[in-house]
Structure 1
Amino acid sequence: MPARPIRVKLKNELGNSTSLPAGEQYLHLHGQGEDLLITFPGPEPGLCARHTSGRRRVMRLRVPGIDGQMPESWHAALPSDWEDITLAQAHSLLPGMRVLHYAPASRLFPSIFAPLMAKLDPAPLIPPAKSLWLPGPKNALIIPELAHAARDLGLDTRRLPASLSPQDLRRLLEQERPSLFLSVNFHGLDPYGENQALLQAAGVPTAVWCVDNPLHLLTDQKHQLWKNLPLYVTDDWFVEPLRGMGADARHLPLGVSPRFFAPGRPCPSGNDLTFVGRSAFPDKDRFFAACRIPQELAKKAQAMPGRDAHFGWWRQRLPGLALWPGNDVRIIGLGAETASAAWRQECLAALAKEIDLTVVGDEQWQALLPGTRIQPPVDYYTGLADTYRNASFSLNLTSLLLPHGLTQRHFDVWACGGFLLTDNTPGMNIFPRELAQAVTFSSPKEAAELLRALAADPKRKEDLRRAWQMHVLEEHGYCRRLASITRDIIPSSSTTENPCNPWT
């Protein structure tokens, strides 16, 4: 009867208890050379014998955080002629020698092994091209805006798929070294840090810009390496908790692209109001599967006014839930999203009774707002600007998933010639105070009163519209946002004079 396989359990780098699969099939040999480096022999060191026989030197990577979890029998099974080396020594030896790697270790301790394995066959260190690599889905927002902004800054753009395999990335890096790899919402960066490690080994500056709730996005990251990246967030509320987790978090708001929301005819001077938006969080049921919120908290949130029951409020009342790693933070998010949907529906239902309201969005609005004029969705890049220009007033309701957030409406509506009324959020602090106070409200009643007052004073409305349009186009274009990133990330970055002037 064959011997029963050894079962070894240890905690991975995220603190989760995991069994190490046993078997020679998990030992992968890489590279060439007379010496052999064993990154981790797995639970049965004896299985390495076939690969160590006849080697001049056999070296084993010593990782105290892993070795300390292995049983005494494992330590006793390590051959005495193996030389222990540190992680720094292992990095200094690569590339240029043969490596034996226990493959499951790359998923258990990616922050240790992804950078090490990336050095086995690194891309050539060629001079950087003046180019920006932008991974993302074909229909992604922000990506086209950034591509145009890159051209204004004198950078060529290469669009890459959102799900980029390490093998494909390695092949691309053999052909070109970009000036910057910019990931929006972690697109192009795999859950186990392999692509990040390949980019680092190739000397490619890399940054992430989270344009949605970053703590939700981090639930897909299964490694600690992301903390080494500049992490831009559009909502400054998240800077403090992310830095508390060891991240290099920086605030960078959304912006506007004059190519898609160019100044056009001004909106009319009537008293109608248009809201453009979804009825629910995209793919809500899948994302929040298995999440449950305490009913007592849900009732408290329902009784709170305005935007008070935002993500930060839920976090304070659910302190036992980890922000990362794991999916616990989605429970906080479900609370905020539930409150957000209620706030949005409350505002729209109340406004529909007071003024001439049109909702542009999905069919679910018909059930949520019976009797309200509902129009089908419009394409963001080809039809939305005209929708804003045709409305006397456009309405913004900011998701409670973003405590200090702004939306694209805060920039797009003004840039193209529309007029925006928006719920009050601390994110409005990036705009001049006198402009922000003139268009914000805290309740549906205030929104209706504000609309009526501005509709009755078309000169004031037009003066505000022009001031907002000039400010947004001059200060908040995506060209300026990208220029800010390149100044931070690209060594000796320089741009042509006034490359982000929206009036040229």
Structure 2
Amino acid sequence: MDAEQPQSAALVVVFEAPVVSRDCADALRTLGFRVTCLPITEDNVMGLMSSRPDYVLTINFNRYISEVCELLKVTYLAWVIDTPCYPLYDGAVKHSHSFTFAYDAAIAQRLRARGVRQIYHLPVAANPGRIEQLQQQGAAVDLVHDISFVANLTRTEYASLIQPRLSPSTSARCAALIQSLDQPSATFTLAEHIDEALIADVNRESGYGLTGEHLLSPAEKLAYLLAREHSWQERIGLVRQVEQRFDLRVYGNSEWEGQIQGYAGHADHFETMPKIFQQSKINLNLSRSFVEYGLPMRIFDVLSCGGFLLTNDKQDLGKLFTNGKDLVIFRDTQDLLEICAYYLEHEDERQAIARQGAATLREQHTYLLRMIDLFTTVQAVQGGQPMPLSRWYT
């Protein structure tokens, strides 16, 4: 428990996650809350019955914590930062004491339409204060690169558990759907092109269950599985093309080994990643094809470090940042290659954009501001005042 806050202050239990939870806890303490951080264990979840906090916060939705909070009449706050987050589609998300905030407005809009009243849009953020403390430690020469890409390569369930068991005709249909994602779209609509016959064939041939989530259709689940395979292929293909022309280093999990030439190993989120972002001339972001509007943490992390960001497009970019001023958006691989060549040669322009991106981040996209938005929404709704989906989407 945070001893610096008076006992009269509201108590928030923050269940720990690999990222985000620590920054949320820091922001909540700044706002005057008492904060207790705990790992998610059965004992700690059941311990809520004795501690009786005012609020419980998790990163991504946890149906079991939602059930306990509903039983105790404790306000449960879930900030969903992943796609797909399958527990989000459980019926527990409709509990009266649960408030869910999704980083992707399209997901929040869809669940609103399916009867989830207390779901809202809240983009992720960064913690510039933590970054500034780290930067005081000095630079690391071995992390200076022309171009860097910090991202994991996630082996997919489709490739390992489904595709090897499919008939040639069913596999070909799935492959065509995966390939269709090569054409950028304003929204992720793959589920609309999946019919009941394909769902039945995939279920029968692979034995992989496409049902189980109360608020997610089998077509939507299959769309996620196919799109995750597309993103695997897309990341490898893009990196291979970039590293043919430029000095590119890729940091992430070991799945990259054997796939590309420029794999540089794992980068710790809190220690190494910020130094890479700060010292690379160009930082790449490739948002996954199955993410509709939302922006990954990488975008906010790069900007908070004063790094220059080159990214593919998502709808939230136009609402939260300005292309060519805070960051630069590429349309396709050829555009990406041309932009890399340009900004490697135009250092003054590159650094000016990086400075402005960092300024916008500090002014508009910190965890402190996100926690203010979150609690403003929750307390207004609890007071009987209806609230919009978010400040960016009404």
Q: Deviations over 1:62-112 (max 9, x none)?
A: xxxxxxxxxxxxxxxxxxxxxxxxxxxxxxxxxxxxxxxxxxxxxxxxxxx
- Secondary structure at 2:189 match in 1: helix
Q: Rg larger in 1 or in 2?
A: 1
- Secondary structure at 2:152 match in 1: coil
2:182 paired residue number: 305
Letter matched to residue 445 of structure 1 = Q
* CA shift in 2, pair 1:153/1:342, >3 Å: same
1:217 pairs, out of 87, 112, 119, with 87
2:282 paired residue number: 393
Letter matched to residue 235 of structure 1 = D
Q: Deviations over 1:423-465 (max 9, x none)?
A: 1111212334344685110212111211221222211111111
Indicate whether 1:373 and 2:262 are aligned. Answer: yes
Whole-Å separation in 2 of the counterparts to 1:260 and 1:288: 39
1:60 paired residue number: none
Q: Deviations over 1:251-302 (max 9, x none)?
A: 100100123323848999x981111111115xx4499856877532422432
Whole-Å separation in 1 of the counterparts to 2:216 and 2:181: 29
For the 8 Å contact 1:214–1:238, the answer to whether it is kept is no
- Unaligned runs of at least 5 residues, structure 2: 1-6, 200-210, 384-394
- Secondary structure at 2:40 match in 1: coil
Letter matched to residue 11 of structure 2 = S
Whole-Å separation in 1 of the counterparts to 2:126 and 2:21: 12
**Larger helix percent:** 2
2:128 paired residue number: 258
2:56 paired residue number: 181
1:235 paired residue number: 104
Higher relative contact order (CA closer than 8 Å, sequence separation 6+): 2
1:132 paired residue number: 12
Whole-Å separation in 2 of the counterparts to 1:387 and 1:234: 25
The two structures have a TM-score, normalised by structure 1, of: 0.62
For the 8 Å contact 1:133–1:160, the answer to whether it is kept is yes
Structure 1 stretch displaced more, 154-163 or 343-352: 154-163
Q: How many residue pairs align between the two structures?
A: 350
1:152 paired residue number: 30
Indicate whether 1:415 and 2:304 are aligned. Answer: yes
Letter matched to residue 234 of structure 2 = W
1:486 paired residue number: 375
For the 8 Å contact 1:218–1:324, the answer to whether it is kept is no
Whole-Å separation in 1 of the counterparts to 2:281 and 2:140: 5
1:190 paired residue number: 64
Whole-Å separation in 2 of the counterparts to 1:424 and 1:340: 14
Indicate whether 1:406 and 2:295 are aligned. Answer: yes
For the 8 Å contact 2:103–2:122, the answer to whether it is kept is yes
- Secondary structure at 1:405 match in 2: coil
Letter matched to residue 256 of structure 1 = A
Indicate whether 1:208 and 2:208 are aligned. Answer: no
1:295 pairs, out of 157, 169, 172, with 172
1:454 paired residue number: 343
2:194 pairs, out of 318, 328, 353, with 318
Q: Deviations over 1:22-74 (max 9, x none)?
A: xxxxxxxxxxxxxxxxxxxxxxxxxxxxxxxxxxxxxxxxxxxxxxxxxxxxx
Q: Deviations over 1:380-426 (max 9, x none)?
A: 01111111122111111111231222111111111112111111111
Letter matched to residue 195 of structure 1 = V
Whole-Å separation in 1 of the counterparts to 2:190 and 2:27: 37
RMSD of the alignment, in Å? Answer: 3.3
Whole-Å separation in 2 of the counterparts to 1:236 and 1:436: 24
- Secondary structure at 1:324 match in 2: coil
Q: Deviations over 1:310-368 (max 9, x none)?
A: 7x222211265777347834322111101111211121111111211111122321221
Whole-Å separation in 2 of the counterparts to 1:230 and 1:136: 18
For the 8 Å contact 1:435–1:468, the answer to whether it is kept is no
* CA shift in 2, pair 1:222/1:266, >3 Å: same
- Secondary structure at 1:375 match in 2: coil
The two structures have a TM-score, normalised by structure 2, of: 0.78
Letter matched to residue 391 of structure 1 = S
Whole-Å separation in 1 of the counterparts to 2:13 and 2:310: 36
For the 8 Å contact 2:147–2:280, the answer to whether it is kept is yes
- Unaligned runs of at least 5 residues, structure 1: 1-126, 494-504
For the 8 Å contact 2:105–2:293, the answer to whether it is kept is yes
Percent identity over the alignment is: 19
1:384 pairs, out of 263, 269, 273, with 273
For the 8 Å contact 2:69–2:97, the answer to whether it is kept is no
* CA shift in 2, pair 1:169/1:348, >3 Å: closer
For the 8 Å contact 1:183–1:209, the answer to whether it is kept is yes
Q: Deviations over 1:443-495 (max 9, x none)?
A: 121112112212222111111111111000111001110111111113699xx
